Amino acid sequence: MHPDLVKLLELQAKDRTLLEADQALDAILAEVESLDQQLADGEKAVAQAAKAVADASRRRAELETKLENFRKLEERGKARMEQVRTPKEIAAVMTELDLARSILAKEEGDWMKQADLISGLEAAGKEAEARLAQMREAQVEARGEIDLRRREAENRRQAALTERDSAAGEVNRALRARYERLRTVKSVRVVVALNGASCGACFTQVPLNRRSQIRAGTLIDACESCGVILYAEEIVE
């Protein structure tokens, strides 16, 4: 095999290791993200519950103002009752009073319902807070364990990167530039073994003359069809 190709294959192997290290690190970072997301959801639930309590409390305050007004109306009706004399006047005040009382009864009923609603919402809010606190506590251990794995993965990635860079330094400059260019379009597998008479990546036939040169190690050539750099696996006899 062409000696430059040997070095290039070495580089490709290191690049594959680096890619695996990258993927392992990404998977760990995704775990952290998922824990963050869980907390964010829990915090959102607490905020929503608090808002529901605030809204319902505001509504209850409005009902209280209304109740206060109808109570005053009722008081006024009672006071008028003391002053009126004729049956007609009495009947009119009675009608007003009845109306005020029936509205008052209805509003009081609404107020009670609202109070029940608020205690339900407050209970739900406390539950959401408790769940969030529980989640935070449960995450402490998980995050500690993930953090250890993250540091290991970062070290492995750093080591893979150092090895990759030193392998890259061994490769002929022009060939390395070609390899890097190909890699940006074809990901990591850009130095590919011949598969019989064909390119091992796209299986397009490689002319015999060029194949022999590649086998002899006198030519570094690319597949005419897909562009990968071709090499011949040593035949062990």
Residues at the interface with Zn ion (CB under 5 A): 199, 201-202, 204, 223, 225-226
Distance of CA 88 to the CA centre of its chain: 74
> Which one, 163 or 224, has the nearer CB to Zn ion?
224
In the three-class reduction of DSSP (H, G, I as helix; E, B as strand; rest coil), residue 63 is classed as: helix
C-beta atoms surrounding 15 within 10 Å: 23
Closest approach, Cβ 198 to Zn ion, in A, equals 8
In the three-class reduction of DSSP (H, G, I as helix; E, B as strand; rest coil), residue 191 is classed as: strand
Closest approach, Cβ 188 to Zn ion, in A, equals 16
CA distance linking residue 190 with residue 203, whole number of Å: 14
> Which one, 5 or 118, has the nearer CB to Zn ion?
5
Which one-letter amino acid corresponds to residue 182?
Answer: L
Closest approach, Cβ 207 to Zn ion, in A, equals 13
Per the rule left: phi > 0, alpha: psi between -120 and 50, beta: everything else, 217 is left
CA distance linking residue 203 with residue 40, whole number of Å: 50
> Which one, 46 or 214, has the nearer CB to Zn ion?
214
> Which one, 153 or 223, has the nearer CB to Zn ion?
223
Longest dimension (CA), the chain: 130
Handedness of CA 95, 100, 105, 106 (dihedral sign): positive
> Which one, 57 or 195, has the nearer CB to Zn ion?
195
CA distance linking residue 14 with residue 10, whole number of Å: 6
Does residue 101 contact residue 77 with C-beta atoms inside 8 Å? no
C-beta atoms surrounding 121 within 10 Å: 19
Closest approach, Cβ 235 to Zn ion, in A, equals 21
> Which one, 21 or 201, has the nearer CB to Zn ion?
201
Partners of residue 222 on adjacent β-strands: 229
Closest approach, Cβ 194 to Zn ion, in A, equals 10
> Which one, 5 or 93, has the nearer CB to Zn ion?
5
Closest approach, Cβ 9 to Zn ion, in A, equals 17
Closest approach, Cβ 18 to Zn ion, in A, equals 24
